[in-house]
Amino acid sequence: MSDELALTEAEQKAGIIRCDACPVLCRIRPGRAGACDRYANEDGKLVRVDPLVLLAKPDLARVAFIEGSGNWAGELGKGEGAFVTGIGATTTYPDYKPAPFIVSSRYEGVDMVTVVTEGIFSYCGVKVKIDTDRYLGPEQAAVRVRGEAVGHVTTAEYGSQMLSLGGVHHLTGGSKKEGVVTCDALLALCNREAVELAIDGGSTVVVQSGQPPIVNGQCEERMRVGCGSAAIGMFAPQWKDHADEVIVVDDHITGVLTEHQGGRFLDMKPAGIRVRGRKSTPGRYFQVAEPGLGWGGTNVSDPLEIIEKIDAKQAWPGLRLLMVSTTGEQSAWFELDRDLKPQPKDMPEPVRRVVDRVAENCEPALCTVLFMAGAGGSLRAGVTENPVRLTRSVRQTLTKVTLGGVPAYVWPGGGITLMVDVAGMPEKSFGYVPTPALVAPIEFTLRADDYAALGGYASRAVTLEDVLRGQRVRIGDGK
């Protein structure tokens, strides 16, 4: 150790030890933990606070533990009964250190190796999918936590609003406070905790993996069945004999039944009701109102606001008009009077049943949190002395990449840029270091002969039994 990093004589006498698990290099007093709460000084030894997490393989065997002690009872049953995850494995920092665990196993007669570690990810973030039509904010608007920018609104997808949070520029490219707040928010989201986000020029939204979003204090229940045009196409035959016109209000594409191809194929008579906005193709209108928290993700509370005019040459007294949102949460029934003015009436039961069917076809609104990161130097160097070979092996699908036992999606192109849904990972899979960066488990599984071919640390391979004998472990709750 260099003189700069060496402990003073007084520190050594006080039992202080140096943690080298990340670039912060904490000096830890006896009985205390480092800044990340993941490593501690136990009787002068650097120890990992949390146990190593295993995922049980119920189809093969049950890993047995002594009642109440959390210790392994020495039974594996038949075959390899658990998968060793990177949770609690410790890291490979500094980069030249081999991965903490290189576990050998056998699968259907084939010798396999799983390289297990926890990665320090400075280049990481989350992609958040929020199932809602509610207006969250303009595209590219800053997303803030405790006043600090942690990401931005990105392009909306079908029935969902999308956020991109974190990334190296927010973690390290701004102020110290911005980096700390970003790291805290990412850690909470990845560990499936609720985080309140405020969007410039838009709404506040509480996001939690696997839970419905809460927009401006209102809990979302449904993800829309489709845009207004799609809803017309799906339910046109069911409306035909019970309504003369149906308008499905949507911030993106509002549908008008008698103009729409769905109504034309059913030989429905034109109703002469024109809506505001920019006409796309027959029966499909863009920009009928501003985005908002009202009907179909627009800012209207009265659906009649989007009607531009009623053509007296086509409309008639008594015309039956249904207006409904894309989730069925808002609906209203009108009949035209002698002056062709829409008058609210009680909705007939056959129409109500179809409105209820629109709602029935809406899936529950949920938040999805996808952790995204680049597997860089310390990860790859911990697997092989020639890191590019690991990248090539992943590209050739010879190596399977998992995080906490959950298969990762690896993006095309250079490097190992991966993405994983945190909902399926064991509880508290993620940690942090105050550089700031997230710490996430990662496992590389491949055939033993392929591992040897890419220059891996094959001589360091151990069996599951070896791991269990030397480590505190717990069984994870991965889905």
Mutual orientation of helices 228-239 and 349-360 as an angle, nearest 10°?
140
159 and 111 in a single domain? The answer is no
Count of the separate structural domains present in the chain: 4
Distance separating alpha carbons of residues 260 and 128, to the nearest angstrom: 34
What pLDDT does residue 81 have?
Answer: 62
Average pLDDT, integer, range 143-164: 96
Asked if the structure places residue 348 within a domain, the reply is yes
Distance separating alpha carbons of residues 359 and 458, to the nearest angstrom: 56
234 and 345 in a single domain? The answer is yes
170 and 245 in a single domain? The answer is no
Q: Are strands 473-475 and 52-56 parallel, antiparallel or unpaired?
A: parallel
What pLDDT does residue 478 have?
Answer: 60
Are 159 and 224 within 8 A, CB to CB?
Answer: yes
Asked if the structure places residue 356 within a domain, the reply is yes
**CA angle (9 as vertex; 8, 14 as ends), nearest 5:** 95
What pLDDT does residue 49 have?
Answer: 84
Q: Which domain holds residue 26?
A: 9-48
116 and 128 in a single domain? The answer is no
pTM for the full predicted model: 0.87
356 and 271 in a single domain? The answer is yes
Boundary residue ending a domain (306, 332, 360): 360
Asked if the structure places residue 367 within a domain, the reply is no
Over residues 417-434, the pLDDT tens digits come to: 999 999 999 999 999 998
70 and 112 in a single domain? The answer is yes
Tell me: pLDDT of 179 over 80: yes
Sheet strands (E) in 220-283:
245-249, 254-256, 273-275, 278-279
135 and 72 in a single domain? The answer is no
Q: What is the mean pLDDT of the chain?
A: 90
Q: Between these two residues, 79 and 303, which has the higher pLDDT value?
A: 303
298 and 327 in a single domain? The answer is yes
Write down the residue that tokens 């560990």 correspond to: 191
232 and 355 in a single domain? The answer is yes
Boundary residue ending a domain (295, 330, 360): 360
235 and 342 in a single domain? The answer is yes
Asked if the structure places residue 4 within a domain, the reply is no
Query: How many CB atoms sit inside 10 A of residue 315's CB?
Result: 21
355 and 386 in a single domain? The answer is no
Over residues 202-211, the pLDDT tens digits come to: 999 999 999 9
Average pLDDT, integer, range 316-328: 97
89 and 106 in a single domain? The answer is yes
What pLDDT does residue 74 have?
Answer: 45
Q: Between these two residues, 303 and 34, which has the higher pLDDT value?
A: 303
